[in-house]
Amino acid sequence: MLRTNNIDHHRTGDVVTLLDALSDTGQGKLATVADLYERKAFLVLGADLALEHPLLSYQMRANYRHHQAHIYAVTPGPVREDNYAAAVVRGRDYESLREKLQKEPELVILFDDSYRGEDLRKVVAFGASLGIPVSYVRWWITPILAAPSTWGWRPNCCRDISPRASRACTWAR
């Protein structure tokens, strides 16, 4: 039990598997937002980063404009990052980019919550096999930051994060 009032914590991705996979390989680390402006190459796996997490997308675009960072997009459909990507792959075949990624001095892999469990372990193993420094960013949208009314939240929900049950979040019926 996490003892949290955020009833949506289970949708924030498979962080446990990510940390476990990173400890298994002995390589890789978690990247910061600042890293997105400073690193040389990015592999975006999953959904539309510009739509789902504009801050991360902005940092990468600024890095592209100022430092000519290489961005590789592996997504199910067209995304904004396609406009300035060094390579675009539709679907989930990030393995096809291996040769290009191995030529990069460093890499940040960004992925969405569609990468869980064994898929996430494969991503980390892929990063470790490249032979370059790799760091990881897992992004998600929390319902409080997205559109709370679309999930049926009550207006006064979660204003007090005390652990008392009387103040826990509830769904509107």
Would you list the DSSP string of 16-32? HHHHHHHHHHT--EE--
- What is the identity of the amino acid at 124? V
Strands (E), the chain: 29-30, 41-45, 70-75, 87-90, 107-111, 134-138
pLDDT-flagged residues of the chain (< 50): 1-2, 5-9, 141-168, 170-173
Q: Is-contact 27 106, C-beta < 8 A?
A: no
Instruction: Tokens for 62, please give them.
Output: 């600024």
CB neighbours (10 Å) of residue 111? 26
Q: With b meaning 16 or more CB within 10 Å and e meaning fewer, what string describes 10-44?
A: eeebbeebbeebbeeeebbeebeeebbbebbbbbb
- Enumerate domains of the chain plus CATH numbers: 9-138 (3.40.228.10)
At 139 the pLDDT is 66
Q: What is the maximum alpha-carbon separation in the chain?
A: 56
Q: What is the DSSP letter of 119?
A: H
Task: Supply the DSSP string of 69-83, one letter for each residue.
Answer: -EEEEEESS--GGGG
Parallel, antiparallel or unpaired: strands 70-75 and 87-90: parallel
Q: Report the Cα–Cα distance between both ends of the chain, in Å, rounded.
A: 25
What pLDDT was estimated at residue 59?
Answer: 94
126's CB contacts (< 8 A; 6+ apart) are 94, 95, 98
What is the predicted pLDDT for the residue at 163?
Answer: 42
